Amino acid sequence: MKKIEALVRTHKLDDVKEALGHVGIHGMTVSECRGFGRTHGKLEVYRGSAYTVEFVPKLKIEVVVPDGMVHQVMTAIVEAARSGQIGDGKIFVTEVLEAVRIRTGERGDDAL
């Protein structure tokens, strides 16, 4: 099992959700978060003073999938979330040791 963590633009949520649906992913966790990467936020002006929004709002989408699905899930997210402009986000993949569906006690891939 692998956990795929995608940090995407907030308005891309619907597109990513739909794309994941097409490859058979029907469950995910989404949280609002903030961060910055190489571009270091955006310069804005408030009452004449320039300031930088260092931490830009993003959404974090997390899905845990069987090993065999990792590639197609990542491809689906990239295609749905990309605009080609700076700030499209990143995807991280990590190993997941165990999963349990609390209601039934199922474990491993069966719990996904």
Partner 1 sequence: MADPSTADLAKQLADTQTSMNLMWTLLGGFLVMFMQAGFAFVETGLVRKKNVAHTMGMNVFVYAIGILGFWACGFALQMGGVGALSTFGGDATLSRELIVHIGGKEFGLFGMKGFFLPAALFTAPVAATFLFQMVFMDTAATIPTGAMSERWKFLSFVLFSVFVSTLIYPIYANWTWGGGWLSMLGKNYGLGHGHVDFAGSSVVHMTGGVMGFVGARTLGPRIGKYGKDGTVHPIPGHNIPMVVMGTIILAFGWFGFNAGSTLAGTDPRIAVIATNTMLASASGAALAYLTSTLKFGKPDLTMICNGLLAGLVAITAPCAFVSPGAAVAIGAIAGALVVLATVFIERVLKVDDPVGASAVHGVCGAWGIVALGLFANGTYGDGLNGVAGNVRGLFYGDNKQLIAELIGIGANILWVAPMTVLTLAIVGKLVGNRSRAEDEMAGLDVPDLGTPGYADDVPVSVAEEEKPAPKAVGAAEMAS
Q: Identify the residue among 21, 23, 44, 75 touching partner 1 (CB under 8 A).
A: 44
CB of 55 to partner 1, least distance (A): 5
Residue 108 gets the label, from left (phi > 0), alpha (psi -120 to 50) or beta, of left
Cα-flanking dihedrals φ and ψ of residue 106, to 5°?
-60, 150
Rounded CA-CA distance 81/6 in Å is: 9
Rounded CA-CA distance 31/101 in Å is: 21
* Part of the chain binding partner 1 (CB under 8 A), chosen from 22-30, 48-56, 59-67, 68-76: 48-56
CB of 61 to partner 1, least distance (A): 17
Rule CB under 8 A: say whether 31 interacts with partner 1: no
Cα-flanking dihedrals φ and ψ of residue 28, to 5°?
-160, 160
Rule CB under 8 A: say whether 14 interacts with partner 1: yes
Instruction: Kindly tell me which of 13 and 99 has the beta carbon lying closer to partner 1.
Output: 13
- Binding site residues, partner 1, CB under 8 A: 9-11, 14, 34, 43-47, 49-55, 85
